[in-house]
Amino acid sequence: MRFQFSGTCFVFLLLVAALAAPLAAQNADQMSYAAVASSKFVSLPVLPACVTFASQRGDPTKGAAVLLLKFKSGCVIPWHWHTANENLMMVSGKGKAEMKSGGSHPMTAGDYMYLPSKQGHQFICITSCLLFDQTDGPFDIHYLNAEGKEIPPEEALKPMAKAAAPKKP
């Protein structure tokens, strides 16, 4: 299924490009250092509002990158897949990764997970999570419905927005 280039995608690309600009000058031959305290975390319209990320190395719009993701407790990135392979390492907090192919994996500080390209999965942060996501290609996200069919981000994230909305007394 193909989707038309939307305003959301455009905003996503602008934000990622702005974050990645200082990282583009990085040289593979040189050591790099990225302090968490000085990392610039941003939210993206294609991700739930309860998660932010900061590029630590590389340009995620062009190729391999190391991203640092922060999740609020209870945050869920619903079923999805990526074109690139992912290497996840939990820094702090407690979470759970679930795979469409079967299996639920609890994750705590120091845990590692490899996610192959195009494998459906979701991530649930149980208590405030901080994790590294190293991709071997440009970052993208393709959301899935209950039947495993691709759906637009707006549809996938709609239940998240409803859950976050304040309740009337």
Predicted confidence (pLDDT) per residue in 62-72, tens digit: 999 999 999 99
Q: Please answer whether residues 8 and 46 qualify as being in contact, where contact means their C-beta atoms are separated by less than 8 angstroms.
A: yes
List the CATH code of the domain at 7-21+37-164: 2.60.120.10
Annotated domain spans of the chain = 7-21+37-164
User: Is 0.75 topped by the overall pTM?
Assistant: yes
Q: pLDDT, tens digit, for every residue of 30-45?
A: 888 888 888 999 998 9
What is the C-alpha separation between 136 and 63, in angstroms, rounded? 7
Q: How many helices (H) and strands (E) does the chain have?
A: 2, 9
Q: pLDDT, tens digit, for every residue of 65-113?
A: 999 999 999 999 999 999 999 999 999 999 999 999 889 999 999 999 9
Q: pLDDT, tens digit, for every residue of 111-138?
A: 999 999 999 999 999 999 999 999 999 9
